[in-house]
């Protein structure tokens, strides 16, 4: 992962026509608590639903759009597994309720917003289709990654080879969950996945566990025949300078991870 302030650019061997970036909390107009880590203005909050000044969010989105070939296809994310296609991006002014999107047309920008949940960017090695998935633990356990790859496969064909990049998310030292989360993943695990899933949870105090969402995503990506997985090395909770974190701060902004095909 390289930095083009205030953006993060995925370090993955994607085809040349596949473009991607992930925003940070830096480089915008928002003020506290949506600003910078030291409380000063300058936050690049992109979420319209978190209580920030709408004019600041509009300005932040305009700054992002200036870096893109077109405005992103924003989603109303609900921690589910629904997939939006490029023809649904703001169709008739309606934002689709979905947790992932795919596109095959150049300059149609797939985007997901996060502030601890895992953003997963996807493409095929031939560079014919891209996708972005919002993988909180509920969506991840429910199969949002597999559903996204399956829809992409309808466009790229059954023999397509996949690449994935895991963006900034809550790290395994910070993601404390209840025993029911571990049990939910174990209940969904295939026989060969049971051991790796179990190892993705580290016992904590009071019956709690610390979950490695990156490891869990790699397991689900492998189930979807994607083993070329990159990223997964940034923690939103521990890096307050760069990232918003709902778990850390409660009231906070949202970042975006985006992928598209160049013309």
Residues 6 or more apart in contact with residue 67 via CB below 8 angstroms: 7, 21
pTM of structure: 0.96
Say how far apart CA 50 and CA 54 lie, in whole Å: 10
191 Cβ contact list (under 8 Å, min separation 6)? none
How many whole angstroms separate alpha carbon 206 and alpha carbon 52? Answer: 36
- Residue whose structure tokens are 């991607």: 20
What is the full per-residue pLDDT of the chain (263 aa) written as tens digits?
655 568 999 999 999 999 999 999 999 999 999 999 999 999 999 999 999 999 999 999 999 999 999 999 999 999 999 999 999 987 677 899 999 999 999 999 999 999 999 999 999 999 999 999 999 999 999 999 999 999 999 999 989 999 999 999 999 999 999 999 999 999 999 999 999 999 999 999 999 999 999 999 999 999 999 999 999 999 999 999 999 999 999 999 999 999 999 98
What region does 27 belong to: left with phi over 0, alpha with psi -120 to 50, or beta?
left
One DSSP character per residue, 22-90 reads EE-SEEEEE-TTSS-TTS-S-E----SSSS--HHHHHHHHHHHHTTSSS--B--B--SS--EEEGGGTT
How crowded is the C-beta side of 93, counted as CA atoms within 13 Å? 0
Structural domains in the chain, CATH included, are 2-174+229-261 (3.60.140.10)
Residue with tokens 């972005």: 132
Q: Are the beta carbons of 248 and 254 closer than 8 angstroms?
A: no
Nearest to 74 by CA among 20, 104, 114: 114
> Tokens in use for 60?
């932040």
In angstroms, rounded to a whole number, what is the distance separating the alpha carbons of residues 214 and 126? 25
Alpha helices in the chain (DSSP H): 54-65, 137-142, 144-156, 179-188, 194-199, 213-223, 246-249
């Amino acid at each position: 992962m390289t930095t083009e302030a205030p953006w993060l650019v995925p370090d993955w061997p994607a085809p040349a026509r596949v473009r991607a970036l992930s925003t940070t909390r830096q480089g915008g107009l928002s003020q506290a608590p949506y600003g910078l880590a030291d409380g000063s203005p300058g936050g690049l909050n992109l979420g319209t639903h978190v209580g920030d000044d709408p004019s600041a969010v509009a300005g932040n989105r305009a700054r992002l759009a200036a870096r893109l070939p077109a405005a992103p296809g924003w989603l109303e994310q609900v921690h589910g597994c629904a997939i939006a296609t490029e023809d649904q991006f703001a169709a008739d002014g309606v934002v689709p309720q979905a947790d992932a999107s795919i596109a095959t047309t150049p300059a149609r920008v797939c985007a997901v917003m996060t502030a601890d949940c895992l953003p997963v960017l996807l493409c095929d090695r031939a560079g014919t289709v891209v996708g972005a998935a919002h993988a909180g633990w509920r969506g991840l356990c429910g199969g949002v990654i597999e559903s996204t790859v399956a829809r992409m496969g309808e466009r790229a064909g059954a023999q397509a080879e996949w690449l994935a990049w895991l963006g900034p998310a809550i790290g395994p030292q910070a993601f404390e969950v209840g025993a029911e989360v571990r049990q939910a993943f174990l209940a969904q695990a295939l026989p060969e996945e049971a051991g790796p899933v179990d190892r993705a949870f580290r016992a904590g105090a009071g019956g709690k566990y610390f979950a490695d969402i990156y490891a869990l995503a790699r397991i689900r990506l492998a189930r979807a025949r994607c083993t070329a997985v990159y990223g997964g090395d940034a923690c939103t909770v521990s890096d307050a300078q760069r990232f918003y974190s709902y778990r850390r701060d409660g009231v906070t902004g949202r970042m975006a991870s985006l992928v598209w095909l160049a013309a």
